[in-house]
Amino acid sequence: MEEDSTVSQDIITRLQSVLLTSVVEEQPLPGQAEPVRFPDLAFITQASKVLVSDEEVSGQLDVSGIDKPAEILPLAEIREEASQSGDRFYIQFRPAREQEGQITIVIEVRMAPTEADLLPLGLGGIQATFVQKPDGRWEVIDLPVLYGI
């Protein structure tokens, strides 16, 4: 995590879990009125299980709010699964950033190709910036940023 002060890894993990669950379940993020939607997310939501790379995951993600099986795996295992069974779409977190009391969490939808010699392909992502309210709750302060890769 890039940081300019110390934030507990538990807080980062909690915010990663909130973003993951809200995006996959198409629910509004805390502090927002509308769910986050973008076309590449369909590769994740239409799959029989949600795959998450363990890279840049700060701790034990809480996936209990996701209505389908979710697996947090090393990228090597996701790639192995793709080489045996076809392209696999998964979510990967980027390094969390803290700046001036705000924490930015980014997730990307990526594809591990069947061909083992090809690198995973980034499809699109969501960046959400959280701020802690006086009552201790964390909320997304602005509309999340959606981008294509």
Per the confidence metrics, is the pTM higher than 0.85?
Answer: yes
* Predicted pLDDT of residue 38: 78
Single-letter amino acid code for the residue at 99 = Q
DSSP 8-state secondary structure symbol assigned to residue 120: P
* Predicted pLDDT of residue 46: 85
* Predicted pLDDT of residue 109: 95
What is the percentage of the chain residues whose pLDDT exceeds 90?
A: 77
How far apart CA 39 and CA 43 sit, in angstroms, is: 8
| 8 A C-beta contact, residue 15 and residue 105 | yes
How far apart CA 62 and CA 18 sit, in angstroms, is: 8
